[in-house]
Chains A and B, each alone.
Chain A
């Protein structure tokens, strides 16, 4: 064909384009016609023969081969089909042939149509590779639904019996939803054909409740037989089966009461005939998804944990709301701290902690099962209404002869389950009950038996019990008792080494061996042991009475651990070489006795008695060995008590006795005493009776063979305090520059410590001034004298000022502090010589100054008057002056006589009087004018001092008088 076309193409290059194009088209047309003719011939020949042999198989055992019938062959045409399969076989049949599966390799098949069109025999070569494996469409045996869990269950048969050998099968299942058949799930499922008919199941949980919409399911398969070399194809889909819910007339919401894992998604739908307006979960609105009809759904994602009453999901219609409740929570946590133990080896109690809350309550709450694998027994724990504080525990009855238990605690709720295991040898996990019925019984005064009841089956194990022994004012003691366990019975233990006549408190707790846990302590049982004879004689001392005639014997009550019972009485006896005196049955509260004795040496013996017997006697010698070399020392408490020391004395063979008393008490004074061994050289004296600020006398005696010798005498305080009073002081003598002060001693009771000195303050000051209160403020004007010589009782204060008030203050001090102050005001005496000088000097100075001033002024006045006199011109002016002088006396000049007469001077004002005392230097001037003056004016003119006043006065008065008189004169 290529050659032809190339040949035909060549001339076209040489002609013009049009002719060439026409020629070319013609050639192509001719060629096409030729080709069509040839093909038609071939086809017509083919059409007259069977063709298109196609073989398929659905079970690998039979091949179903078919072909296209030759043209013209009518319906029901017959064929002869022959093939080779080990032997030559021919079959006469009409349309298709079912061949047994042929062996691998090519096989010739001849198909001879048995009709009149000629002998057109078709030959085919058939190989397994040309055969298609198309399984039959599966048939769904059953499709069911569990609406409560929204689960579809599909069941079908694989018809495996028709397949000759094992094959893998792939099933494809599709789930469609709603009427418009939306595919919601397409899943493959692999199985194997095993030569038998097998029914397969497939389940699927729908994300949407099955009630919400119709669900359809179809299935097809694909057989993957590795031995089959032909083409494998999917089967047809099975007929669809559907699941639908038949709604009643009521609106309903699905799913109902569903329990979900927190965080998961869920679709909730409302199947209704009404129009749904909105939907909400709790208070949150959700978009609606429309389903078939008026049904709607909402999708809730990542749901959070519910409250105890669940999460409400509601759909709102016009006038109503429909809803459902979802419970979102968690599966049970693994039970934590699982512990199994027994109280009595009869019952095992297992406790645990549930762990994380599930948020599910009521019927959805977690149920627990305690399973014991060796026995196969179990107990269950389920609470619908769970109090929040209830403990989680289960009781398991122990089984005879079983010690090892393998417990599995399974926790289960609608969302899942978890478990915790515990393998336990229960004999090692015994936590006994509290011992009860504790009883005590005497054995002796120092031993008792203690019995108690311990419920439990402890026959095969050992018990260890602990007995706590408490004694008043004593450290409690623990004693361990090991015993074989017995069956539900009482246990007994003996306790020795107790003290007689002592109140004991016993309590018991027990554990098992090996130790697991102690039981709780039993109730306390108090018991008083019986009495025994006193173990020692009382501690004894003696003192001679103040008159020296009687010996007073003191003894101390025996401590309870030595008295061994209630002391009823004492016996006292005094024995010398010559005689013995006794005092018997001195009742207990009395702890001293007085016996009149001479000065012989006696041995005093004191015996204490209780109901059981008498104590060994305690003895003491009456003799006191004198000691001339005795000094009184001082001591103050150091630490807990007053430390007293002494030198070792080998002659002291018995012991040392330290007695003490309050120093202010009269003799014989004895507060208490203390005995220390003879090898001691010091002791600390402590007593509850000691009080701060109180002086005590301590006497250290050494015990020799003959008697006691006073070794040291000490005064001391447990604590020094400041004096409570100030020393009384008086002023013995006072001079102009000194004061002698004298004071008295402060009594010991008020001193309250060892006197260390006095402080004396003094300063100038008077009573009721503020200075009195601030003497101690360190002011420089306060003088202080510290008198550390406590024997000094006077003080002279010198260098004082005379006739000055002084404020004196005196106070005493100890190491405990400063005592109160006592003050006094003293005025020093006057210094007379100084006073005289002090008065005379100012007077003399004043006189001198006055004299000098007078002289000077006098001289000045004269000068002024003379100057004034000289300055007056003529008689008239001088007459005026004379008249002025008269006027100054308050009289006018007499006129009737023609001469001026004035100056009778009976009433000259005093202040002007000096003016009329004319000084002698002026007398000549006045004498000269006296003749012209009226009688009585002689010797009375004095105008010049002071000059300024003369001027002012003279001019004013003179003018007035002069002009008034001149007027009257002129009138006259």
Chain B
């Protein structure tokens, strides 16, 4: 429930307002009719690629900004504190079909979006004056929302996929501060690593 309250619900609410995200996760998943509220953009794949490129280009800066804001010894112990060994991270197979890749991308972005929501919330409390970090996190989350919407639109319009099962990372709201910092760092390290592969695959 905390996961839903912290990251997922806001994400879904925002998605609901976004272009092309009329029914991203229908309640009746299997037999649901796949319909978007607005027609998908004709150049959707290009938009997806551009969004991935944009995320990829800003991922490293976000990662650096994040671990710098956490204080020592984070910047000097990235291998131990920010290693990208996020166990439940959705997989991605670059050599799969476009449909499979889009489905996996959807899962990844949904996972990352929820995790970014957690991180943003934690950092606003922990580092209230780190405005550049906050704005970078928000900007990344914005792009992710758009990307998620576009991916779903593509899945729906081309492959008639109305529902994708998604998983979310652990909610950090009940964890101690160090765990929040560490999980956030690991997640952003993983994000930096994965987004490069994903952007390359599209």
Contact = CB atoms under 8 A, between A and B. Distances in A.
Interface of A: 253, 256-257, 280, 282-283, 307-312, 314, 316, 319-325, 361-363, 384-388
Interface stretch (B32-40, B66-74, B156-164): B66-74
B14 interface: no
A89 B98 CA distance: 109
B128 A325 contact: no
Contacts of A384: 125, 128
A310 B71 contact: yes
Contacts of B126: 308-310, 361-362
Interface residues of B, number: 22
A935 to B, nearest CB: 136
B72 A309 contact: no
A362 B125 CA distance: 5
B77 interface: yes
B181 interface: yes
Given A321-B80, A361-B128, A384-B125, A314 B176 contact: no
Contact of A316 (B80, B125, B176, B178): B80
Given A257-B176, A363-B125, 12 more contacts: A282-B73, A308-B128, A309-B69, A314-B77, A314-B178, A316-B80, A320-B80, A325-B177, A361-B129, A362-B125, A362-B126, A385-B125
B57 interface: no
Interface string B139-155: 00000000000000000
A320 B186 CA distance: 12
Nearest to A283: B72
A630 to B, nearest CB: 87
B46 interface: no
A933 B140 CA distance: 144
B102 interface: no
A321 B79 CA distance: 9
Contact of B71 (A282, A319, A363, A386): A282
A383 to B, nearest CB: 9
28 contacts: A256-B178, A257-B177, A282-B71, A282-B72, A282-B73, A283-B76, A308-B126, A308-B127, A309-B69, A309-B70, A309-B71, A309-B127, A309-B177, A312-B70, A312-B72, A312-B178, A314-B81, A316-B77, A324-B176, A324-B177, A325-B177, A361-B126, A361-B128, A362-B126, A363-B125, A384-B125, A385-B124, A385-B128
Nearest to B123: A309
B24 to A, nearest CB: 30
A323 B182 contact: yes
Contacts of B125: 362-363, 384-385
Contacts of B81: 314, 321
A322 B181 CA distance: 11
Nearest 6 CB-CB pairings of A with B: A325-B177, A362-B125, A256-B176, A321-B80, A283-B72, A282-B72
Interface in B104-132: 124-130
A307 B129 CA distance: 11
A879 to B, nearest CB: 133
B128 A311 contact: no
A280 B71 CA distance: 13
A20 B176 CA distance: 93
B74 A312 contact: yes
A71 to B, nearest CB: 71
A280 B126 CA distance: 21
B71 A311 contact: yes
Given A323-B182, A362-B126, A310 B80 contact: no
Given A385-B124, A386-B128, A309 B73 contact: no
B129 to A, nearest CB: 6
Nearest to B176: A256
Nearest to A386: B128
B195 to A, nearest CB: 25
A384 B128 CA distance: 8
B129 A325 contact: no
B77 A325 contact: no
Contact of B129 (A283, A322, A388): A388
Contact of A321 (B71, B77, B124): B77
A364 to B, nearest CB: 10
Contacts of A310: 71, 126, 177
A308 B129 CA distance: 8
Contacts of B124: 385
A253 B178 contact: yes
Contacts of B130: 308
Nearest to A310: B177
A312 B71 CA distance: 7
Given A280-B73, A310-B71, A325 B178 contact: yes
Nearest to B134: A385
Nearest to A252: B176
Contacts of A311: 71
A542 B166 CA distance: 104
Contact of B176 (A283, A325, A387): A325
A386 B125 CA distance: 9
Contacts of A385: 124-125, 128
Contacts of B73: 280, 282-283, 312, 314, 321
Nearest to A314: B73
Nearest to B80: A321
A321 B72 CA distance: 13
Contacts of A309: 69-71, 126-127, 177, 181
A512 B127 CA distance: 45
A325 B178 CA distance: 6
Contacts of A307: 71
Nearest to B131: A387
A196 B147 CA distance: 74
Contacts of B71: 282, 307, 309-312
Contact of B178 (A283, A319, A324, A386): A324
Contacts of B72: 282-283, 312
B178 A323 contact: yes
B180 to A, nearest CB: 9
A703 B130 CA distance: 86
Interface string B164-202: 000000000000111001100000000000000000000
A253 B182 CA distance: 13
A927 B181 CA distance: 152
Contacts of A325: 176-178, 181
Nearest to B81: A321
Contacts of A324: 176-178
A190 to B, nearest CB: 39
A329 to B, nearest CB: 14
A23 B181 CA distance: 97
A314 B76 CA distance: 12
A35 B69 CA distance: 93
Contacts of A387: 128
Contacts of A253: 178
Nearest to A327: B177
Nearest to A324: B178
A942 B176 CA distance: 148
B188 to A, nearest CB: 15
Contacts of B76: 283
Nearest to A320: B80
A311 B81 CA distance: 15
A387 to B, nearest CB: 8
A309 B133 CA distance: 13
A385 B123 CA distance: 10
A766 B62 CA distance: 88
